[in-house]
Amino acid sequence: MVAAKIAGVLRAQFPGLVLASDIDGLHPSLTLSPENWKEAAAFLRHDPRAGFNFLRCISSLDLYPEPFIELVYDLMALEPAGPGEPWRCAATVAIRLRVPRDGGSVPSVADIWPAAEWHEREAFDLMGVKFEGHPDHRRILCPDDWIGHPLRKDYQYPTEYDGIPAGPAPKTSVPETP
């Protein structure tokens, strides 16, 4: 199994990096410590034993009431199927990192997988995770002056933004009909 092999290689290359693994499911995953994430990401991308040359997505999950946001990097190792043939997926793995909800940050991997640039901006905008060294670290969906991060479970929705109603309509009492 590819995920078991990758977990072993990562454990040997970066002692203490792999915190947990779930390699028996349909979508194998490894939970890593965020401390050496940048180096581990470069290894996963460039080392021929891994070869995860495609970042499909970065998802962020609010684990409230736990004090963590979890980032899930879906990686694929793509290789050509043959001359004139489309690429095929040789392996896939989800890398999970947990960061503190308040003030959590990880190094940006946009220089390793260019697709990460927009995914990291989305995780910053909607969940508040900071990506150190990101080339364009600003909101991507909300206005620049928006307060808070709307996909957090404890987010308090504003009632208006720039004079425009922004939340649910206020409840009004409706007279009962006889």
The CATH number given to whatever domain includes residue 6 is 3.30.460.80
Instruction: Check residue 126 and give its pLDDT.
Output: 97
pTM over 0.85: yes
Which strand (E) or helix (H) includes residue 5? Answer: helix 2-13
Sign of CA dihedral 57, 62, 63, 67: positive
Instruction: Check residue 82 and give its pLDDT.
Output: 80
Q: What DSSP string describes 31-86? A: EE-GGGHHHHHHHHHH-TTT---EEEEEEEEE-TTSSEEEEEEEEEEEEE-STTPP
Per the domain annotation, does 98 fall within a domain? Answer: yes
H, E, C per residue of 120-149: HHHHHHHHCCEEECCCCCCCCCCCCCCCCC
pLDDT above 80: residue 116: yes
Total domains, the chain:
1
Q: Which comes out higher in pLDDT, residue 25 or 43? A: 43
Instruction: Check residue 25 and give its pLDDT.
Output: 81
Task: Quote the CA–CA distance of 98 and 72 in Å, as a whole number.
Answer: 9
Per the domain annotation, does 177 fall within a domain? Answer: no
pLDDT above 70: residue 1: no
Per the domain annotation, does 176 fall within a domain? Answer: no
Task: Quote the CA–CA distance of 138 and 151 in Å, as a whole number.
Answer: 16
Per the domain annotation, does 171 fall within a domain? Answer: no
Residue-range definition of the domain harbouring residue 102: 2-165
Residue 82 φ/ψ region, left for φ over 0, alpha for ψ in the -120 to 50 degree band, beta for the rest: left
Per the domain annotation, does 81 fall within a domain? Answer: yes
Structure tokens at 144: 């620049």
Per the domain annotation, does 46 fall within a domain? Answer: yes
Do 127 and 69 contact (CB within 8 A), yes or no? Answer: yes
Instruction: Check residue 3 and give its pLDDT.
Output: 83
Find residue 160's DSSP bridge partners.
165
Mean pLDDT computed over 110-126: 97
- Convert the pLDDT of each residue in 42-101 to its tens digit: 999 999 999 999 999 999 999 999 999 999 999 999 998 888 888 889 899 999 999 999
Per the domain annotation, does 69 fall within a domain? Answer: yes
Task: Quote the CA–CA distance of 152 and 76 in Å, as a whole number.
Answer: 28
Per the domain annotation, does 118 fall within a domain? Answer: yes
Q: Is 156 helix (H, G, I), strand (E, B) or coil?
A: coil
Structure tokens at 57: 């997505």
